[in-house]
């Protein structure tokens, strides 16, 4: 595993292909964020959203989920905020387009099982294409989904990869903020007995 401040070598990145990294998860989280699959930087470092330029960590902070911008090597601190990370497909690849339709479907079924076991309040899938492929919802849009998984609400958020040109950093942070505000409103309603 590389240091949080050292760039993985070409050899380390090549060796990371098809690796897996552990989820950052626990039962009863407020939000379980779900990436498409780990990239090679994540595989080489053992950390989610590890590639410089990935906008997950800035969006998490700018949306108000965390009081400061965490680094990938601080990912375990998310649990203290009631947040976690998993992926639709566990294996690392250089690009998400290396994944097959079958991997998405199999990953979606495994994700349903994981959500049933962990019971987060919200599953936030990071990437509309991944959500559509994994759950067979070709017309899904970013935002809250009409169908949850058991008692878990499902949201789709923009993919925070630096390769996602459809959303600016501000746009991604705004969608994360919309989710945070909805989660907080639900929690306030529960406290008020609504």
User: In whole angstroms, how far apart are CA 152 and each of 22, 61, 120, 122, 147?
Assistant: 22, 23, 6, 5, 9
CA atoms lying within 13 Å on the CB side of residue 149: 22
Q: 180 is written with which tokens?
A: 């945070």
Question: How would residue 53 be classed by pLDDT, with cut points 50, 70 and 90?
Answer: confident
1 occurs within a structural domain: no
24 occurs within a structural domain: yes
| Beta-bridge mates of residue 33 | 85, 124
Position 192 scores a pLDDT of 67
147 occurs within a structural domain: yes
Largest CA distance in the chain: 56
Structurally, how many domains does the chain consist of? 1
The residue segments making up the domain with residue 102 are: 10-191
Model confidence at 3: pLDDT above 50: no
5 occurs within a structural domain: no
Residue 73 belongs to a domain with what CATH number?
Answer: 3.40.470.10
34 occurs within a structural domain: yes
Alpha helix stretches (DSSP H) within 46-168: 56-62, 101-118, 128-135
Which pTM does this prediction carry?
0.93
User: In whole angstroms, how far apart are CA 75 and each of 24, 62, 69, 81, 193?
Assistant: 7, 16, 11, 11, 33
pLDDT digits (tens, 9 = 90+) for 129-183: 999 999 999 999 999 999 999 999 999 999 998 776 788 999 999 999 999 999 9
């Amino acid at each position: 595993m590389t240091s949080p401040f050292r760039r993985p070598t070409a050899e380390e990145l090549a060796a990371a292909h098809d690796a897996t990294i552990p989820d950052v998860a626990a039962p009863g989280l407020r939000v379980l964020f779900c990436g498409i699959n780990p990239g090679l930087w994540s595989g080489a470092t053992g950390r989610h959203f590890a590639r410089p330029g990935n906008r997950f960590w800035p969006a998490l902070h700018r949306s108000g989920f965390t009081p400061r911008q965490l680094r990938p090597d601080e990912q375990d601190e998310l649990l203290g905020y009631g947040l976690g990370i998993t992926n639709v497909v566990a294996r690392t690849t250089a690009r998400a387009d290396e994944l097959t339709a079958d991997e998405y479907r199999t990953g979606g079924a495994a994700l349903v099982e994981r959500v049933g076991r962990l019971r987060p309040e919200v599953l936030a899938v990071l990437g509309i294409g991944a959500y559509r492929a994994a759950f067979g919802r070709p017309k899904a849009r970013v935002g809250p989904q009409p169908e949850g998984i058991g008692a878990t609400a499902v949201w789709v958020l923009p993919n925070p990869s630096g390769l996602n040109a459809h959303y600016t950093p501000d746009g991604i942070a705004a969608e994360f903020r919309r989710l945070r505000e909805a989660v907080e409103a639900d929690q306030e309603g529960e406290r008020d007995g609504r």
